[in-house]
Structure 1
């Protein structure tokens, strides 16, 4: 129908959201800003995977820029004070960069999978210029998927919610819900597929017994789990709201529908704010998981370089029962996962 997809949030208990959004803004802006500075001025040479990481950082940084306005919106008692046009701009930034962030995470997972499981595939030799063309194509796709936000008409000028909107025609809201859900579940399936196949591949090659490779496997698992933790609850809430709305709309009067959905609606607003935490924490993944970025960051901030004892020990490691080719293969995979296609 032409009604709102969520009930008005004026009565919701969202007092915890302003400090949460403010914290996400500080960590997201500073962390991703530092990451972009490192990428632009201190990380050389670039590779195709660097292009993907750079665009992920851009997406996360742009998303962070909209968070102070959302924090102000909730702290003022859910009253939007910046006009309808800027409301749609902020909603577009949130929707577009949330989708682009998950899309780039998906492509980075595919890149890592191809380099580890299919190291001789021609796509692994993609030039920087072609990688940029691919990144621009991904941006165009996500922009086209979310530009409908500008066509949505709000039912109340004091509210700034993309899920509490009357639309003309009604299919805009249906597409908005579909894009919201598919931008999580499609990347989730790809990330899980790539992660599981990398783990199976390493175990099949008997590389998972090495202490270094165990850390790599643990990291790959953590990345997938963190993605699920931040994004799955929000999508479950959206699905539950849709199911319960259909149910209560047929049994209750219109004035009773919103009170029946209040708990789920509150949970939705809280869970959607938690998804932004993923973008705020991405810089930690850059730093702690990619040696090239870590060393560039330390150098740019004039910090002492990391202890190279491990790498020195790796070079002097006795091959033992392993052949030189097996050892080289293991070293190659370690380097691919750590240096080329982390996250």
Structure 2
């Protein structure tokens, strides 16, 4: 049987968190999409990946208000089973899609710095769009099973429910949840380490702009881990603890023993959506062109002449990371 939970802590914690993520996410990603669509020309293959990451985050923003309403209403879904599955699908698609596109961005950065003469670095925008479409199709194929969930006899709108039978917790949905994090995080960490090693090997690490780029790459990896690692660990801990308590406790005591773990998991799931409001920071600092357009759109002062001159002086030394 599924474990029901009161969720008193969730009702108090998650609505303000979700609303904050929605407000900053809609502002940041809305601005990013406007810059990509109307100001940033010409596009490069890396621009295609950033645009699709922004699109994944923007789609997530469409369902966050409904999730906030769900918790404000005392964990009672009031919009029907079909719309519940649509919202859960967008949540899962954003997580998986964001992870895949961040992995693709890390691979693109790796190829441009470590293998600058590889043919893939001359990939056309149209071919990059085909690759992005392939990632979307992969993401939807891995998360489309959510539409088969039945919520007609419950007030809950969740794709993750703890089951007192350990084997019932080994579903495809939970496998995708864990697997779609483990492989990309290994790829991202490997690519970041290789890029750092390559730049240090070229004796560029002491250059001011290179230092900023290296620090930025490390920060991106840390933000990725902060957003996606806690929920993955929580899911694994629930699975292992369910196996343990189901074999040692009477059935009636299994769900109460998992209550705190379940609450922690749903909080970490909401922390996953932080990438929605942090990704615009990635766009801003990853491209000088994007940064200048944003500052102009927000009527902020541009860099002064001295900074511009210094930037031109440093440009040759930092050419290998111009795509970061």
TM superposition score normalised by structure 1 = 0.89
Q: In 1, Cα distance between the equivalents of 2:236 and 2:129?
A: 35
Residue 316 of structure 1 deviates from its aligned partner by 4.6
Q: Which runs of 5+ in 2 are unaligned?
A: none
Between the two proteins, the alignment pairs up a number of residues equal to 320
Check conservation: 2:210, 2:318, Cα contact below 8 A.
Answer: no
Residue 294 of structure 1 deviates from its aligned partner by 1.2
What is the correspondence of 1:107-256 to structure 2 with a 5 Å cutoff?
A: 107-154=104-151, 156-164=153-161, 174-256=171-253
Q: In 2, Cα distance between the equivalents of 1:314 and 1:300?
A: 21
Which among 265, 268, 272 is matched to residue 268 of structure 1? 265
Q: In 1, Cα distance between the equivalents of 2:283 and 2:115?
A: 24
Matching residue of 1:333: 320
Q: Deviations over 1:312-333 (max 9, x none)?
A: 124457xxxxxxxxx94x3312
Q: In 1, Cα distance between the equivalents of 2:236 and 2:178?
A: 9
Matching residue of 2:40: 43
Q: Deviations over 1:274-311 (max 9, x none)?
A: 11011111112212332111112233344432335334
Q: In 2, Cα distance between the equivalents of 1:220 and 1:259?
A: 42
Q: Which stretch shows the higher mean deviation, 224-233 or 148-157? A: 148-157
The reply to whether residue 309 of structure 1 matches residue 306 of structure 2 is: yes
Check conservation: 2:209, 2:318, Cα contact below 8 A.
Answer: no
Q: In 2, Cα distance between the equivalents of 1:171 and 1:51?
A: 39
Which among 263, 286, 289 is matched to residue 286 of structure 2? 289
Q: Which runs of 5+ in 1 are unaligned?
A: 318-326, 338-343
Matching residue of 1:68: 65
TM superposition score normalised by structure 2 = 0.94
RMSD: 1.9
Distance of aligned partners of 1:95 and 1:316 in 2 relative to their CA distance in 1, 3 Å threshold: closer
Q: In 1, Cα distance between the equivalents of 2:51 and 2:306?
A: 29
Distance of aligned partners of 1:246 and 1:316 in 2 relative to their CA distance in 1, 3 Å threshold: closer
